[in-house]
Homo-oligomer: A and B are copies of this chain.
């Protein structure tokens, strides 16, 4: 019945517009009573995002099941992938909803509040892991915001392409950027010459960076980037 209500609601939203559709219209099309609607959805907004509550619960459970062995930035990236999974489960529904949300300010506001809840869940977990580190709460908030922004940038680009292509490749790439910015190891790429006995260490395999001890880290990093990119 829940799925029937969502299907009826979306059919009407697309035909008449979101604002012009009432809960009465939805239940009439689905052939159920108003009480049934409100048993599943607290409001008309909620029927547009029927799976976020479940996904938030999944994310919270996933993070709660972490242990000390999980690298924290990698872990919140994996948690964000749960949201992607929810969108990718049903591409055509996700694309329809994306278009609808862009048109209706009230839905945009609802979505912002959902995104904020995901971000809080990630930040809470990171605060726990960063306890005792300098700037732990700052780092937690910044990393959580960066992960959400990267995820949403990739998700939007997939939705704008009408859900074509592989969403997870785009999201992996975006999350990899955040991981590199915050010092978490990205998934190790396969070496170009794995254990190749024909390719012994050569002197050009070594980069030497010489730096004054007082130099700010960003300058050292920039030098390394420049050096590595110069080949």
Residues of A within 8 A of B (CB): 108-109, 112-113, 116, 135, 137-139, 141-142, 144-146, 148-150, 152-154, 157, 173-174, 177-186, 188-189, 191-192, 204-214, 216-222, 224-225, 228
A142: chain B residues within 8 A (beta carbon): 146, 149-150, 153, 174, 177-178, 181
Query: Are the C-beta atoms of B177 and A153 separated by less than 8 Å?
Result: no
Given contact pairs A145-B145, A183-B222, a sample of 14 additional A-B residue pairs in the complex whose CB atoms are under 8 Å apart: A109-B109, A112-B112, A138-B150, A138-B153, A141-B150, A142-B146, A180-B218, A183-B221, A183-B225, A205-B213, A207-B212, A209-B209, A213-B228, A217-B224
Distance in angstroms from A167 CB to nearest chain B CB is: 15
Give Cα A146 to B205, complex, Å. 35
Query: Are the C-beta atoms of A214 and B220 separated by less than 8 Å?
Result: no
Query: Are the C-beta atoms of B139 and A149 separated by less than 8 Å?
Result: no
A221: chain B residues within 8 A (beta carbon): 183, 217, 221, 224
Give Cα A211 to B221, complex, Å. 13
Give Cα A154 to B135, complex, Å. 11
A116: chain B residues within 8 A (beta carbon): 112
Query: Are the C-beta atoms of A209 and B211 separated by less than 8 Å?
Result: yes
Interchain residue pairs with CB less than 8 A apart (25): A112-B113, A135-B173, A135-B177, A137-B153, A138-B150, A138-B154, A139-B177, A141-B152, A142-B150, A142-B181, A144-B149, A145-B149, A181-B182, A183-B222, A184-B218, A185-B219, A186-B216, A188-B216, A192-B214, A205-B213, A206-B213, A207-B213, A208-B208, A213-B228, A217-B221
